[in-house]
């Protein structure tokens, strides 16, 4: 026998891998023998086709993504749009395919480490705690089986509603074909939306799966986090620093070390002896607290949460019917089975612990779910949904027991749904703030998201732009990444540049990892602090505009951070830009995302664009070389817009009375502003104002499109050119 050297082994491994790849499963015969129902209806004026499929002996599972059952009509033919074909190839495998023409672009598909166009790659959809967001990264924390395919200015949306593991090959072999493999033994529903405009497709998709409701105003301010602020003294000090240095901030976020042995719904007596009154103390300084809550429940017969989980049968089970255990922060844990409504309401009720202590919001982490021991939940070679008894654990769906991989992609969303519903019950008529790492289609109904453990790398600042845009196109508008990056030491220059982009993230939080260089705005000395302070102030000045964009999202599903093509679909160059974005319709942002750069090229669609920081407008329809000195904002306002800009405040506690300057760009302009109490649900009953402003012939007029909220008195100003003058709101009626 010839002995193999280490080098031989490396080559053998590489060859085997290549062989495996080449043996990619080819869809054989169609073995389907169940029920397939073809329906259609219009949503947001677009045609939508729905295909509901259940294999023999099964029913179509309840969707946790799609909102309400409405009227569908039978589709006369069994032909799907886009020439989509489908078949069941194995008892646990479904194959779909459709052609992709050379010019077609693919967008959305949830959280991918990718530019805006996700074509040309194979994307596995299986929620994963992936700490290395390199070009090799495949599955990340969220799995959202919704793809937008655009050709010219026409788009289609494809939504494959199944929480089972999926693999989307978007022409990775350059043969002009997209292939979806769905690994499931259960039924599913496929929706095809369109053709229509990109914005109409997202409108219809979010009508189907829900939209984000108005967030509490405080959650739009600056949030400061760290893994971890170790004790209550540090937390109070951090809050004090913000106020002393007059750097606006609304929220301090507590990571896992506030807990007693990482037991959720507890606080450490040693490190947080006054946890019961901490929120109240911080409230006196206009700060809110958000606390982390992980799904793992420590296995300890004396821990009430664990006792209840066991007694009431609420945890995920091994195929033998035992409680499934794995290790996470608290040590050995059991994991709530959020597929069960009993589990969700039990989990929701436990939030009384936080609500009673005045904790304002909840941060759900590790909810893919992530384990310390079991790192790979998928088999090495995935060709079929494994038998349920071969899976790490099972879950109890409304249709019965299934293997975890059938519903894994639901786990994070159903956890934050439980949290959201619990908070709503415990604090009625108060907007809940929930932040989640994992999610599925429809997560926007329950939570904001951040994109997990990025690095303090320039490339991750760059990637945050298309990634957040793709989250928005996937229906989730309230998104952000850790400003400054989570892993690694952030440099001073990178932190400033990150804030220049980060002030536009709908979810705006500075967070970094244990053991890395502190990243608070003042951690790099006076010069850097001054630059960052000014940037955060700009965020607060933009709040009336940002808040109004959330309203727009509620009406049309439009994300806040959107690609240029959203508004300029006829403009071919607009489709090419993914290191630039539009914040709403009126602000174009083209930030610096490279080291030691102070200039960049940026594309401006037709029209004229005014630098937000002042100066001469640029003529659109072409590329400009723009100068962006460190600490300045590369944002440009569309000619014809009126931006409502607030005076700087230290926290949104003072939002309602902060003077607002209606800033006019161009000789004729329009703008809107939404006013409500910023915290209750009463806007749903009409307790809000929608104000329309129009500037013409040198004069500004205002009109209530809706008047239902008795706003506290605040000053308005008109800013046209360089003159700022007081402006009295006039009622139309």
55/296 with CB nearer ligand MIG: 296
Please tell me whether residue 365 binds ligand MIG under the rule CB under 6 A.
Answer: yes
199/228 with CB nearer ligand MIG: 228
**Which backbone phi and psi does 63 adopt, to 5 degrees?**
-85, 130
* C-alpha closest to that of 186 among 38, 27, 330, 58: 58
367/409 with CB nearer ligand MIG: 367
Q: Is the separation of the CB atoms in 179 and 97 below 8 Å? A: yes
* C-alpha closest to that of 563 among 487, 657, 468: 468
Marked catalytic residue, from 95, 286, 294, 368 = 368
Q: Is the separation of the CB atoms in 532 and 496 below 8 Å? A: yes
User: At its nearest, how many Å lie between ligand MIG and the CB of residue 437?
Assistant: 6
Contact characters 276-295, ligand MIG, x per CB under 6 A: ----------------x---
Residue in the block written with tokens 């429809």: 442
Residue whose Cβ sits closest to ligand MIG:
227
Distance CA 449, CA 546 (A): 17
Please tell me whether residue 256 binds ligand MIG under the rule CB under 6 A.
Answer: yes
Distance CA 607, CA 621 (A): 7
CB neighbour list of residue 706: distance below 8 Å, 6 or more residues apart: 686, 688, 689, 690
Residue 373 burial (10 A CB sphere; 0-12, 13-18, 19+): exposed
Distance CA 459, CA 456 (A): 9
* C-alpha closest to that of 220 among 583, 479, 573: 479
Q: Tell me if residue 368 is catalytic.
A: yes
In which element (H, E) is residue 550 found?
Answer: helix 526-556
Cβ neighbours of 70 (radius 10 Å): 10
Residues of span 236-255 touching ligand MIG by CB under 6 A: 255
Marked catalytic residue, from 453, 537, 586, 675 = 453
User: At its nearest, how many Å lie between ligand MIG and the CB of residue 140?
Assistant: 11
User: At its nearest, how many Å lie between ligand MIG and the CB of residue 545?
Assistant: 28
**H-type helices in 23-88, by residue range?**
none
**Which of 227, 324, 354, 550 contacts ligand MIG by CB under 6 A?**
227
User: At its nearest, how many Å lie between ligand MIG and the CB of residue 481?
Assistant: 11
Distance CA 103, CA 86 (A): 23
Residues near ligand MIG (CB under 6 A), total: 11
Marked catalytic residue, from 130, 257, 365, 421 = 365
179/437 with CB nearer ligand MIG: 437
258/566 with CB nearer ligand MIG: 258
Residues of span 477-536 touching ligand MIG by CB under 6 A: 486, 511
453/500 with CB nearer ligand MIG: 453
408/437 with CB nearer ligand MIG: 437
Distance CA 465, CA 454 (A): 13
**Count of alpha carbons within 13 angstroms of residue 142, beta-carbon side:** 36
260/365 with CB nearer ligand MIG: 365
Q: Tell me if residue 276 is catalytic.
A: no
Q: Tell me if residue 250 is catalytic.
A: no
Residue in the block written with tokens 């951070």: 561
Please tell me whether residue 439 binds ligand MIG under the rule CB under 6 A.
Answer: no
How far, rounded to the nearest angstrom, does the alpha carbon of residue 612 sit from its chain's CA centroid?
Answer: 26
* C-alpha closest to that of 386 among 92, 168, 87, 181: 92
Residues of span 452-481 touching ligand MIG by CB under 6 A: 452-453
* C-alpha closest to that of 662 among 640, 639, 649, 646: 646
For the annotated catalytic residues, the residue numbers are: 365, 368, 453
Report the interface residues with ligand MIG, using CB under 6 A: 227, 255-256, 292, 365-366, 437, 452-453, 486, 511
């Amino acid at each position: 026998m010839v002995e193999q050297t280490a080098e031989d082994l490396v080559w053998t491994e590489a060859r085997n891998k290549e062989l495996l790849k080449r043996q990619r499963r080819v869809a054989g015969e169609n073995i389907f023998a169940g029920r397939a129902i073809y329906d259609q209806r219009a949503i947001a004026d677009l045609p939508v086709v729905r295909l509901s499929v259940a294999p023999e002996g099964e029913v179509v599972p309840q969707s946790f993504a799609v909102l309400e059952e409405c009227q569908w009509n039978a589709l006369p033919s069994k032909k799907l749009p886009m020439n989509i074909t489908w078949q069941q190839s194995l008892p646990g495998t479904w194959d779909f395919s459709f052609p992709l023409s050379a010019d077609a672009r693919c967008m959305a598909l949830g959280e991918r480490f990718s530019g805006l166009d996700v074509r040309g790659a194979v994307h596995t959809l299986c929620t994963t705690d992936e700490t290395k967001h390199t070009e090799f990264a495949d599955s990340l924390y969220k799995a959202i089986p919704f793809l937008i395919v655009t050709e010219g200015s026409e788009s289609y949306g494809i939504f494959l509603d199944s929480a089972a593991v999926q693999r989307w090959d978007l022409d990775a072999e350059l043969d002009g074909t997209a292939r979806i493999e769905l690994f499931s033994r259960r039924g599913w529903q496929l929706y095809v939306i369109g053709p229509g405009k990109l914005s109409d497709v997202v409108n219809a998709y979010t009508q189907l799966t829900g939209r984000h409701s108005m967030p509490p105003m405080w959650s739009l301010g600056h949030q400061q986090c760290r893994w971890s602020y170790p004790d209550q003294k540090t937390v109070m000090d951090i809050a004090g620093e913000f106020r002393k240095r007059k750097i606006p901030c609304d929220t301090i976020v507590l990571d896992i070390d506030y807990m007693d042995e990482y037991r959720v719904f507890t606080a450490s007596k040693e490190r947080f002896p006054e946890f019961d009154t901490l929120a109240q103390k911080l409230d006196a300084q206009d700060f809110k607290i958000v606390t982390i809550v992980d799904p793992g429940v420590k296995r300890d017969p004396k821990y009430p949460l664990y006792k209840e989980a066991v007694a009431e049968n609420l945890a995920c089970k091994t195929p033998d019917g035992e409680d499934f255990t794995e290790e996470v922060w608290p040590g050995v844990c059991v994991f709530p089975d959020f597929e069960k409504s009993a589990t969700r309401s039990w989990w929701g009720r436990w939030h009384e612990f936080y609500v009673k202590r005045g904790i304002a919001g909840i941060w759900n982490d590790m909810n893919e779910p992530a384990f310390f021991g079991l790192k790979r939940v998928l088999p090495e070679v995935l060709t079929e949904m494994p038998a349920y008894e071969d899976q790490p654990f099972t879950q109890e769906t409304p249709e019965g027991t299934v293997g975890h991989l059938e519903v894994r992609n639901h786990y994070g969303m159903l956890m934050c749904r439980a949290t959201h519903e619990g908070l709503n019950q415990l604090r009625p008529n108060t907007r809940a703030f929930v932040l989640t790492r994992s999610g599925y289609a429809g997560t926007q109904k329950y939570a904001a998201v951040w994109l997990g453990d990025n690095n303090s790398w320039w490339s991750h600042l760059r990637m945050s732009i298309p990634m957040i845009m793709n989250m928005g196109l996937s229906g989730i508008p309230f998104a952000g990444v850790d400003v400054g990056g989570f892993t690694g030491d952030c440099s001073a220059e990178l932190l400033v540049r990150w804030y220049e982009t980060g002030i536009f993230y709908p979810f705006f939080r500075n967070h970094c990892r244990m053991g890395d260089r502190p990243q608070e705005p003042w951690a790099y000395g006076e010069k850097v602090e001054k630059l960052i302070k000014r940037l955060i102030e700009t965020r607060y000045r933009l709040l009336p505009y940002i808040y109004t964009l959330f309203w727009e999202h509620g009406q049309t599903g439009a994300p806040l951070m959107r690609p240029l093509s959203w508004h300029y679909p006829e403009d071919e160059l607009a489709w090419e830009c993914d290191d630039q974005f539009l914040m709403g319709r009126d602000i174009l942002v083209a930030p610096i995302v490279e080291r030691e750069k102070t200039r960049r090229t940026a594309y401006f669609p037709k029209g004229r664009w005014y630098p937000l920081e002042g100066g001469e407008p640029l003529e659109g329809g072409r590329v400009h070389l723009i100068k962006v000195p460190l600490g300045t904002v590369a944002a440009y306002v569309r000619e014809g817009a009126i931006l409502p800009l607030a005076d700087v405040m230290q926290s949104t506690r003072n939002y309602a009375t902060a003077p607002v300057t209606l800033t006019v760009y161009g000789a004729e302009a329009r703008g809107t502003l939404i006013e409500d109490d910023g915290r209750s649900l009463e806007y749903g009953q009409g307790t809000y104002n929608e104000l329309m402003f129009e500037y013409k012939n040198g004069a500004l007029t205002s009109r209530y499109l809706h008047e239902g909220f008795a706003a506290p008195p605040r000053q308005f100003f008109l800013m046209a050119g360089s003159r700022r003058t007081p402006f009295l709101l006039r009622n139309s009626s």
